[in-house]
Amino acid sequence: MQLVKIIDGQPIPYTYERFRKDNPFTSYGIHPSSSQLKEQDVYKVMVEVEPAEITGFKIVLASLPTFKDGAWVLCYSHVALNEDEVREFRNQELSKTDWMAVSDRTLTNSELAYRQALRDIPQQESFPDNITWPTKPE
Model confidence at 16: pLDDT above 70: yes
Residues 17, 65, single domain; the answer is: yes
In a domain, 11, yes or no: yes
Residues 94, 117, single domain; the answer is: yes
Of the candidates 82, 86, 85, which has an alpha carbon nearest to the alpha carbon of residue 122?
Answer: 86
Indicate the angle between helix axes 109-119 and 83-96, nearest 10 degrees. 160
Residues 66, 105, single domain; the answer is: no
Model confidence at 132: pLDDT above 70: yes
C-alpha angle 21-44-23 in degrees, rounded to nearest 5: 20
Residues 93, 46, single domain; the answer is: no
Quick: pLDDT tens for 23-62: 999 888 888 899 999 999 999 999 999 999 998 899 999 9
Q: How far is the CA of 46 from the CAs of 4, 7, 37, 92, 113, in angstroms?
A: 10, 19, 15, 33, 45
Residues 54, 113, single domain; the answer is: no
Read off the DSSP letter of residue 50: P
Residues 106, 64, single domain; the answer is: no
Domain encompassing residue 106: 83-123
Residues 75, 106, single domain; the answer is: no
- pTM for this one? 0.71
In a domain, 133, yes or no: no
Residues 9, 74, single domain; the answer is: yes
Residues 51, 101, single domain; the answer is: no
Read off the DSSP letter of residue 121: G
Residues 55, 88, single domain; the answer is: no
What pLDDT does 73 receive?
95
Residues 73, 48, single domain; the answer is: yes
Quick: pLDDT tens for 56-105: 899 999 999 999 999 999 999 999 999 999 999 999 999 999 998 888 88
Instruction: Label residue 1 by pLDDT band (50, 70, 90).
Output: low
Contacts 24+ apart (CB under 8 A), 63-68: 64/4, 64/11, 64/13, 65/1, 65/4, 65/11, 66/11, 67/11
